[in-house]
A and B are shown apart, each in its own frame.
Chain A
């Protein structure tokens, strides 16, 4: 399996390089001048010239790219134009926040989506199935920002049981940290729960028709055991893969969710960076996200190996 993983990692390398060129080039095509955005209302020409020199914006674009990628190779992602902080430091600060949000959202998604999927597959065609489908569909269709604001108004303003927005590091106050993150994680989790539910349902439906499930039933096993041990376990492989692939959706969803709930994470960092034309930060984030996505893909492949013994023998 190790050689398989190595092989995948080597194949991924050109993809990462392509992504880096793509992101760099795309940013340069963006209208707007980062230095003007940085120079302040007065736009002092002396300051503008100094900033252009300092951030080497006068160099030709390919030279700028090479300077940047050389830094990246040595672990230096550059400096943020906006806050003067190293990009690696910024990412190091923000990544744990978004991971906390993503993990909590994933828990919501799995806890809601998987049982709902099993239930609606087992009770296919009944009222339970329809209700679960309608709920899942609404989870997919309700925009995050609307659900977020409605929850804030209801839970924080009317009931006053959870903080309206913000972030508390778990190290500072674990309980408050979880409480603050509950609403955003729920909002982010609902859309994923719907996707998970739909996939669990179809995977379960496929498995439930198979011979070994009929055999298990014929043996006289209790229905719960048939479903959880025989059917669900076999339906699990695609679900696990999907969950790993949902990582991308989680990051994309986090951009919006963090914006609504004012969570100082990755998503908020990238949005602010784009608006301020903070090139180095945008490049750094996209690169780290792309690598993260590739790693998650490789891990999903590895999970196949573990869950499906047949693959190991090949």
Chain B
């Protein structure tokens, strides 16, 4: 009898222990997010935390279609200058403030007017809002803006509690209050961010964990070791070089998605005096450089085949990819001919600045040896990232190995980099036809017309080659085999609806 009782007790205890364990989901990030205020935030990893913490007006599908989240429906006026949105009536902020049209208006105003706001450029097309009913709002634009819905699928669309925001001001990020499925519990900077389940969320049943803990673990090996030792349930950004080994591990599952971003080499063609060099003035040299690249070989050597080779700001599987301009085959003879035509039959030197990260260095070392075969003598100038960014922005460079994390709307991957007034046009590239085509593409709501704009710009950009795209990162997640229901998204976010831990 006693034995039976003890066994029963033990079984009961272990069952409670298991369920208690199953209720916490521990996720390892590659770095520590910055301030947790959607309007002030600037890091990629911060957005991963927001996906559980802050619901957005709209969301995306894995195929990048815009779908309802806090907005249940929307419509544009004929001119594309008025967006009317119907809002959820069952959503509430973590502090009990109801979510309604007034809250949306307050959020848009905050993104636009708060001094610390990093969202100003994303919502710059909005000139005003009109609350039409308790759960209906009209957003007025100065000119048509095809990118706005995609912005609302990211930080600009994240709704914070107007009550909490008014009280906390710029310190909102220390105690963020949104309306997502999980609410903020505590943060120890560089150590962890803990969220707990928000029982009043309209879709609370879809979320299986009582708490979610985000742990920044920058070292790839240590992050993976934490997964293998069972200290975390899932990790972000498994190193491509670990992929083959981990796929063979029966206790670990892997999920992948090609990212929205790109990596490549940017040439300084018009940013200050440093642009006045053969590489900046003669597009033939830049095209010759591109012809020396074997992108698929780079993918195999540096990423063991885990990234996606590409030659445009959009990956080849994107609907915005221009198939009329496919990835060129490596052609050393053609590259040599172009060099000779440009007046450098004996080759030419090129200095490229590279962030001092192992992957970027490996990538550029492979590129270096490929280009050498055509007579392009590349010197790599490894710089710590903040230094490189400053030099690049100031135009103190000839060529630079940089990338972009990617945006849902195609405009976010191209417009600001190659238009004359573009905010991040470090290349200093300027071409009236490219400006016109990309401006038209961002204001049209017709998808076919937009694609035409991007394709038109691509033809010129391909000839001019101010940016030579090389590959698109793949997001790789690794998780314990008891985690089920995870869907990889190209935006690299962690959506926890339907994710469970089985025991």
Name A's B-contacting residues (CB within 8 A): 30-34, 36-47, 50, 54, 82-85, 90, 93, 149, 152-153, 156-157, 160, 163-167, 259-264, 268-269, 272, 275-277
B423→A164 contact, CB < 8 A: no
B222 A152 Cβ-Cβ under 8 A: yes
Are the C-beta atoms of B118 and A47 separated by less than 8 Å?
Answer: yes
Q: Contact check, B230 vs A259: say whether CB atoms are below 8 A apart.
A: no
Interface 9-mer from B89-97, B185-193, B427-435: B185-193
Which residues of chain B (177-195) have a CB below 8 Å from chain A? Answer: 188-192
Nearest-neighbour CB distance to chain B for A264, whole angstroms, equals: 4
Q: What 13 new A-B contacts, CB under 8 Å, besides A47-B117, A166-B191?
A: A31-B387, A37-B386, A40-B43, A156-B228, A157-B225, A164-B231, A165-B226, A166-B226, A167-B191, A262-B191, A263-B191, A264-B189, A269-B190
- B159 adjacent to chain A (CB < 8 Å): no
Is B385's beta carbon under 8 Å from chain A? Answer: yes
Stretch in contact with the other chain, from B9-17, B213-221, B326-334: B213-221
Given contacts A90-B189, A93-B188, A269-B190, is CB(A41)–CB(B174) below 8 Å? no
Residues of A within 8 A of B225 (CB): 149, 152-153, 156-157, 164-165
B34 touches A166 (CB 8 A): no
The interface stretch among B367-375, B389-397, B481-489 is B389-397
Residues on the B chain within 8 Å of A268, using CB? 190
Inter-chain contact A44/B386, CB cutoff 8 Å: no
Instruction: Report B's interface with A, CB cutoff 8 A.
Output: 32, 34-35, 41-43, 115-118, 120-122, 170-171, 173-174, 188-192, 215-219, 221-222, 225-226, 228-231, 383-387, 389-391, 393, 404-405, 416, 423-424
A32 vs B466: C-alpha distance when bound (angstroms)? 24
* B365 CB → nearest A CB, Å: 22
Q: Are B190 and A264 in contact (CB under 8 A)?
A: yes
A-B CB proximity, top 3 nearest:
A40-B42, A32-B386, A264-B191
Chain A residues with CB under 8 Å of B118's CB are: 39-40, 42, 44, 47
- Asked if residues B423 and A42 are in contact (CB atoms below 8 Å), the reply is yes
Asked whether, in the complex, the Cβ of A42 is within 8 Å of the Cβ of B121, the reply is yes
Nearest residue, chain A, Cβ from B121: A44
Supposing A31-B387, A83-B35, A152-B225 touch, asked if A41 and B230 sit within 8 A by C-beta, the answer is no
Contact B190 A32 (CB under 8 A): no
Q: Which of B42, B384, B404 contacts A39 (CB 8 A)?
A: B42
B residues near A149, Cβ cutoff 8 Å: 221-222, 225
Query: Could you tell me the distance between the alpha carbons of A12 and B191 in the complex, rounded to whole angstroms?
Result: 35
Least CB distance, A98 to chain B, in whole angstroms: 12
Q: How far is the CB of A131 from chain B (nearest CB, A)?
A: 31
Which of A33, A54, A149, A262 has the largest count of B CB atoms less than 10 A from its CB?
A262
Can you list 20 pairs linking A and B with CB atoms under 8 Å apart? A30-B387, A31-B383, A31-B386, A31-B387, A36-B389, A40-B41, A43-B424, A44-B121, A47-B117, A83-B35, A93-B188, A152-B221, A160-B229, A163-B231, A164-B228, A164-B229, A165-B217, A166-B217, A259-B219, A262-B215
**Could you tell me the distance between the alpha carbons of A84 and B174 in the complex, rounded to whole angstroms?**
9
- A34 neighbours in B (Cβ, 8 Å): 386
Chain A residues closer than 8 Å to B189, beta-carbon distance: 83, 85, 90, 93, 264
Closest to A163 in B: B231
The answer to whether A36 touches B393, judged by C-beta atoms less than 8 angstroms apart, is yes
One of A30, A31, A47, A165 near B391 (C-beta < 8 A): A31
Asked whether A166 lies within 8 Å of B231 as measured between CB atoms, the reply is: yes
* Alpha-carbon distance A276/B389, docked complex (angstroms): 11
The answer to whether A277 and B116 have CB atoms under 8 Å apart is no
List of A residues within 8 angstroms of B43 by Cβ: 40
CB-CB < 8 A to A156: which residues of B? 225-226, 228-229, 231
Q: How far is the CA of A267 from the CA of B233 in the complex (A)?
A: 27
B342 to chain A, nearest CB (A): 32
Query: Are B386 and A164 in touch, CB under 8 angstroms?
Result: no
Determine which residue in A38, A43, A268, A277 has the highest number of CB atoms from chain B within 10 A of its CB, and name it. A43
Q: Which residues of A contact B405 (CB under 8 A)?
A: 41
Nearest CB to that of A40 among chain B residues? B42
A82-B190 in contact (CB<8A): no
Most buried by A among B41, B117, B222, B405: B222
> Which chain B residues border A166 with CB–CB below 8 Å?
191-192, 215, 217, 226, 231
The residue in chain B whose Cβ has the minimal distance to the Cβ of A84 is: B35
CB < 8 Å: which of A30, A46, A157, A163 contacts B120?
A46
| Residue of A46, A90, A157 with highest tally of chain B CB at under 10 A | A157
Q: In whole angstroms, how far apart are the Cα atoms of A269 and B189 in the complex?
A: 9
Closest Cβ of chain A to B457, distance in Å, is: 20
Cβ contacts under 8 Å, A163 to chain B:
229, 231
Q: Which residues of A contact B174 (CB under 8 A)?
A: 84-85
| Contact between A262 and B384, CB atoms less than 8 A apart | no
A166 to B26, alpha carbons, bound, how many Å? 12
Q: Given the complex of chains A and B, what is the CA–CA distance between A227 and B132 in angstroms?
A: 90
In the complex, what distance in Å separates the CA atom of A31 from the CA atom of B392? 12
Which one of A84, A160, A262 contacts B222 once the chains associate, using CB atoms below 8 Å?
A: A262
Query: For residue A166, which residue of chain B has the nearest CB?
Result: B215
Q: Cα distance A274–B416 when bound, in Å?
A: 29
CA distance A85 to B215 in the complex (A): 20
Contacting pair A42 B387 (CB below 8 A): no
Q: Which B residues lie within 8 Å of A160 (CB)?
A: 229-230
Q: How far is the CB of B11 from chain A (nearest CB, A)?
A: 23
CB distance B191 to A36 under 8 Å?
no
Q: Which residues of A contact B218 (CB under 8 A)?
A: 259, 262
How far does the alpha carbon of A40 sit from the alpha carbon of B191 in the complex, in Å? 22
* A33, A45, A166: residue with the most chain B Cβ atoms closer than 10 Å: A166
Find out whether the CB atom of B230 lies under 8 angstroms from the CB atom of A43.
Answer: no
Contacting residues, chain A, for B173 (C-beta < 8 A): 84
The distance from the CB of B230 to the nearest CB of chain A, in whole angstroms, is: 7
Q: Please, how many angstroms separate the alpha-carbon atoms of A293 and B339 in the complex? A: 59
**Bound complex: CA of A263 vs CA of B192, how far in Å?**
10
Q: Which residues of A contact B230 (CB under 8 A)?
A: 160
Complex Cα distance, B218 from A268, in Å, reads 11
> How many angstroms between the C-alpha atoms of A44 and B123 in the bound complex?
12
- Check if A83 sits within 8 Å of B390, measured CB to CB: no
A42 to B215, CA, bound (A): 26
Chain A residues in 8 Å Cβ range of B192: 166
Contact A50 B115 (CB under 8 A): yes
Chain B residues whose C-beta falls within 8 Å of the C-beta of A272 in the assembled complex: 32, 190
A83 touches B229 (CB 8 A): no
Shortest Cβ distance from B405 into A: residue: A41
Which residues from chain B contact A41 at a C-beta distance below 8 Å?
A: 42, 404-405, 424
How far, in angstroms, from A93 to B189 measured CA to CA in the complex? 9
Check B393–A43 contact: CB distance below 8 A.
yes
Residues of B contacting A84 with CB < 8 Å? 35, 170-171, 173-174
Q: Using CB atoms, name the residue of chain B closest to A162.
A: B229
On chain B, the residues within 8 Å of A43 by CB distance are 393, 423-424
